[in-house]
Amino acid sequence: GQNIDQPTEMTATEGAIVQINCTYQTSGFNGLFWYQQHAGEAPTFLSYNVLDGLEEKGRFSSFLSRSKGYSYLLLKELQMKDSASYLCAVPDSGAGSYQLTFGKGTKLSVIP
Amino acid sequence: GAVVSQHPSRVICKSGTSVKIECRSLDFQATTMFWYRQFPKQSLMLMATSNEGSKATYEQGVEKDKFLINHASLTLSTLTVTSAHPEDSSFYICSAIGVGQGAYGYTFGSGTRLTVV
């Protein structure tokens, strides 16, 4: 099965940088997703990492280390609208199965 | 980009009645639809996976006779909560992958907030 662990809550200041960590244990590996979810809304795609390293996309970057079973999402120049839950997710490793398993999510609060 | 339209966005129903939630892929053929449930302050929990034209595969602990899933066409999947009870109150979200979207090109619906009174 899949096991995903991420912090429950984080607080950061507007304009600052925050790093949200995710560790995972899977029987196989088909990449790792990060989603943003505002309260009462569906998740929106942020990133998909399948190779080791850092991928930068504007204010958001995502890092993956497959050997360590570790990823992080880096948010720069925080804005109030970045207050949301951030979900780490991995696809199932079974052949022909594309199910996503989500972590419990990290609720980020951005304060002035 | 790909869009999945989910309706209704909010529904309130009386205990014992049934509620149908629809998810339509507007610009692609959804070969697989995933249905999730999310309770307050919790993450998305997969309820079932449905492939077009096949019976849905339910996750352990999800009652297939209570949560009826139909995926009769490549653009429409429905989830019917039968004999709803207050404990079924939750946020239900569909997610689709399909033709031309890549193996992991998940597109989420906007969610349905179900309240059973």
Residues B104, A32: Cα–Cα separation, whole Å = 10
For A51-97, write each residue's pLDDT tens digit.
999 999 999 999 999 999 999 999 999 999 999 999 999 988 766 66
HSE-up of residue A47 (Cα within 13 Å, Cβ side): 24
Q: B1 Cβ partners below 8 Å, 6+ apart? A: B107
Q: Which of A31, A98, A107 minimises the CB distance to B97?
A: A98
Burial class of residue B52, CB neighbours in 10 A (0-12, 13-18, 19+): middle
Question: Quick one: average pLDDT of B77-87?
Answer: 96
Residues of chain B positioned with their CB less than 8 A from the CB of A43: 44, 93, 108
For A94-112, write each residue's pLDDT tens digit.
666 678 899 999 999 999 9
Phi-psi region of B110 (alpha: psi -120 to 50; beta: other; left: phi over 0): alpha
Residues A25, A1: Cα–Cα separation, whole Å = 8
Q: Which of B104, B110, B113 minimises the CB distance to A48?
A: B104
Among all residues of chain B, which has the CA nearest to that of A106?
Answer: B43
Residues of chain B positioned with their CB less than 8 A from the CB of A107: 41
Residues A26, B52: Cα–Cα separation, whole Å = 28
> Hey, what amino acid is at B3?
V
Phi-psi region of B108 (alpha: psi -120 to 50; beta: other; left: phi over 0): beta
**Could you tell me if B47 and B64 are in contact, meaning their C-beta atoms sit under 8 angstroms apart?**
no
For B12-57, write each residue's pLDDT tens digit.
999 999 999 999 999 888 889 999 999 988 889 999 999 888 889 9
> Hey, what amino acid is at B73?
S
Q: Which of B34, B104, B110 minimises the CB distance to A42?
A: B110
> Hey, what amino acid is at B111?
G
User: Would you call A99 and B93 a contact, using CB atoms and an 8 Å cutoff?
Assistant: no
Is the per-residue pLDDT at B99 higher than 80?
no
Q: How many other C-beta atoms are found inside a 10 Å radius of the C-beta of residue A17?
A: 13
Per-residue pLDDT band for A2 (boundaries 50, 70, 90) equals confident
On whether any CB of chain B is under 8 Å from the CB of A57, the answer is no
Choose from A34, A45, A46, A87 for mutation: most chain B CBs within 10 A. A45
